[in-house]
Copies of this chain bind each other. A is one copy, B any other.
Amino acid sequence: MIDPLLLPELKQMLSENDTPGLKEFCDVLHSAAVAEILEELSDEEILHVLSYTNLPRQVEIFEYFPLSRQRDLIGRLESPRLVDLLEQMASDDRADLLESLEPEQLEAVLPQLAQADRNNIRRLMSYPDGTAGSIMTTDYASLPEDISVGEALTQLRLQAPDRETIYYVYVLDDDRRLLGFVSLRRLILAKLESPLANIMDRDVISVRADEDQEDAARTLARYDFIAMPVVDDQNRLVGIITHDDVFDVMQEEMTEDVLRMGAVGPMTENYLEASFLSIWRQRAMWLSCLFVAELFTFTALANYAGMIEQLVILSLMMPLCISTGGNSGSQAATLITRALALGQLTLGDWWRVLRHEVLMGLALGTTLGVIGFVRAAITPQYLLGSADRWLLAMVVSQSVAAIVLWGTLIGSLLPLLFKRLGIDPGIASSPFVATFVDVTGIIIYFNMARLYLL
Contact = CB atoms under 8 A, between A and B. Distances in A.
Contacts of A246: 247
Contacts of A344: 270-273
Contact of A320 (B280, B298, B431): B298
A272 B438 contact: no
Contact of A315 (B219, B301, B333): B301
28 contacts: A30-B203, A157-B189, A160-B185, A160-B189, A221-B244, A226-B243, A243-B243, A262-B331, A270-B339, A271-B335, A271-B338, A272-B345, A276-B359, A280-B363, A283-B331, A284-B367, A287-B404, A290-B327, A292-B371, A294-B324, A295-B371, A305-B312, A305-B383, A308-B308, A308-B316, A315-B318, A319-B322, A327-B431
Nearest to A336: B271
Contacts of A160: 185, 188-189
A227 B167 CA distance: 13
Given A288-B371, A301-B316, A322-B319, A330 B262 contact: yes
Interface in A322-343: 322-324, 327-328, 330-331, 333-339, 342
Chain A interface size range: 35 or more
B203 A185 contact: no
Interface stretch (A97-105, A120-128, A248-256, A417-425): A248-256
A77 interface: no
A398 interface: no
A284 B247 CA distance: 34
The 6 closest A-B pairs by CB, nearest first: A262-B334, A315-B315, A271-B339, A224-B244, A221-B247, A297-B319
Question: Chain A interface secondary structure, helix, strand, loop or mixed?
Answer: helix
A422 to B, nearest CB: 19
Interface in A346-363: 349, 352, 356, 359-360, 363
A203 B261 contact: no
Contact of A291 (B30, B279, B333, B371): B371
A174 interface: no
A404 B280 CA distance: 13
A435 B323 contact: yes
Interface in A220-245: 221-224, 226, 243-244
Given A32-B222, A261-B262, A276-B359, 12 more contacts: A30-B223, A167-B185, A258-B261, A264-B331, A272-B352, A284-B363, A287-B367, A291-B371, A298-B320, A298-B375, A305-B312, A315-B318
A430 to B, nearest CB: 6
A262 B328 CA distance: 9
